[in-house]
Amino acid sequence: MKIIDFIGENAVLDDLQSTDKESVIREMVDVLKNQNKINENEVDDIMKALIKREKVGSTGIGKGVAVPHTKHQSITKITGAFARSLKGVEFDALDGEPVYLFFLLLSPNESTDVHLAALEKISSVIRNPDFRNFVRNASNKSEMVDILKEVDEAKT
């Protein structure tokens, strides 16, 4: 599985405008909505599920990265978005650091293994300090995509 396969080049944001948890998630969900990757009528419900998951415990998993995620009945195939905030967002991350990079992950209800595999893939990418550095310093969206593709290819 490659990250770019389920995220797609068009679901990458290089300059998130939002400054708080909920609006960051909303901004990313909107991208998927605009690309018709999720049903417009389900947007509110998906948002609710994502926020609920954050309440259980922040998905800010450290090192300036967060992976907001949820399963949802309206999702038929795993999809997601990748976004960067230049200023960083307070996300109640477990290490207290602001979050700069976000991977949004939406999976179908019955997709435990795919979901786990996607998380595995994302975490092995973000574990790499070079990746985090390069992506944070990328000058635009297409550079971010390129870096993502590059690490995707690399054997982890």
Catalytic (active-site) positions: 69
Give the long-range contacts of residues 31-40, CB within 8 A, separation 24 or more. 31/81, 31/83, 32/79, 32/80, 32/81, 32/104, 32/106, 35/8, 35/10, 35/11, 37/8, 37/11, 37/79, 38/74, 38/75, 38/79, 38/106, 39/74
| Residue 127: CB minimum distance to other proteins, A | 5
Report, in Å, the least distance between residue 26 CB and other proteins: 14
H-only helix segments in 73-111: none
Count of C-beta atoms within a 10 Å radius of residue 107: 23
Smallest separation (angstroms) from other proteins to the CB of 43: 16
For other proteins, the closer CB: 117 or 138: 117
Q: Which is nearer to other proteins, 38 or 91 (CB)?
A: 91
- Element of type H or E holding 12: strand 12-13
Give me the least distance between CB of 37 and other proteins, in Å please: 21
**Cβ distance to other proteins smaller for residue 48 or 87:** 48
Q: End-to-end distance of the chain based on CA atoms, in angstroms?
A: 12
Q: Which residues bind other proteins (CB under 8 A)?
A: 48, 52-53, 55-57, 59, 61-63, 65, 67, 69, 92, 94-96, 112-113, 115-117, 119-120, 122-124, 126-127, 156
Q: Which residue has the tokens 């309206």?
A: 74
**Residue with Cβ nearer other proteins (34 or 87):** 87
